[in-house]
Structure 1
């Protein structure tokens, strides 16, 4: 069994994929648009043919899946954080700064009893990231 996060960007998925490629060096390993579906997607608003039906994004050794889902408004990511574990403090600082661009820092990077460098940031899409260098 394997658990993977699946993020719904509600119309901003392609923008998010580009952001994570630039911010984290992520790689898009799969991308399918609604217009490429072999069957119509019920309930989709007109003009969403080029929106992302499904994508997979490789970040380090992990895969995060993402979609535009129903394309009905702003994304809403509450109660969930993605944990990012860069190997070094320098890598954590770089990733944190990139994720914070246009977002909101909830806890600045700093040492904790469990990590030499830990911080929490919500990126410009509202996705919460806990950045933590392993002790």
Structure 2
């Protein structure tokens, strides 16, 4: 059993998950509301057909799930981060640079006592990330 972060977006889930798919090298699976059965769609009037009902993208051995919130009023993410531990410093830097583009760095990527690289950021979609390298200082 492994917990899976489930992110909610205000109409840009497809864009965000496609972006994460590029960064992590995996094609996201995306199910729009228009693919839901008609009787279920009828219970959710006003939801755009292209809104994402469910999406997933593999990140290493884990998964990230997401959807567009049908209310369109999801508050900015707070209280948790998606934590990614990468195998080496080059990959950590590559992922950091891709996620930081257009985002907000909360703690710059740098060496700390438990790992060669560690940093905190919110990406351009408002998702909070904790990025680190898995290897320890020698």
Q: Normalising by structure 1, what TM-score? A: 0.89
Q: Deviations over 1:83-134 (max 9, x none)?
A: 1111011111110000000101111111111111111111001111111111
**Structure-2 residue corresponding to 1:111:** 111
| TM alignment of 1:49-60, pairs within 5 A | 49-60=49-60
Q: Are the aligned partners of 2:108 and 2:120 in contact in 1 as well (CA < 8 Å)?
A: yes
- State the alpha-carbon separation in 2 of the partners of residues 21 and 97 from structure 1: 15
Structure 1's consecutive aligned runs of 4 or more residues displaced over 6 angstroms after TM superposition are none
Q: Are the aligned partners of 1:44 and 1:71 in contact in 2 as well (CA < 8 Å)?
A: no
Q: Are the aligned partners of 1:11 and 1:73 in contact in 2 as well (CA < 8 Å)?
A: no
1:89 aligns with 2:100: no
- State the alpha-carbon separation in 2 of the partners of residues 97 and 9 from structure 1: 22
RMSD of aligned alpha carbons: 1.7
Q: Deviations over 1:31-54 (max 9, x none)?
A: 2111111132434425x1111101
Measured after TM superposition, the shift of residue 22 of structure 1 is 2.3
- State the alpha-carbon separation in 1 of the partners of residues 7 and 45 from structure 2: 18
- SS of aligned partner of 1:27: coil
Q: Normalising by structure 2, what TM-score? A: 0.87
- SS of aligned partner of 2:115: coil
Structure 2: stretches of 5+ with no match in the other structure? none
- State the alpha-carbon separation in 1 of the partners of residues 62 and 27 from structure 2: 11
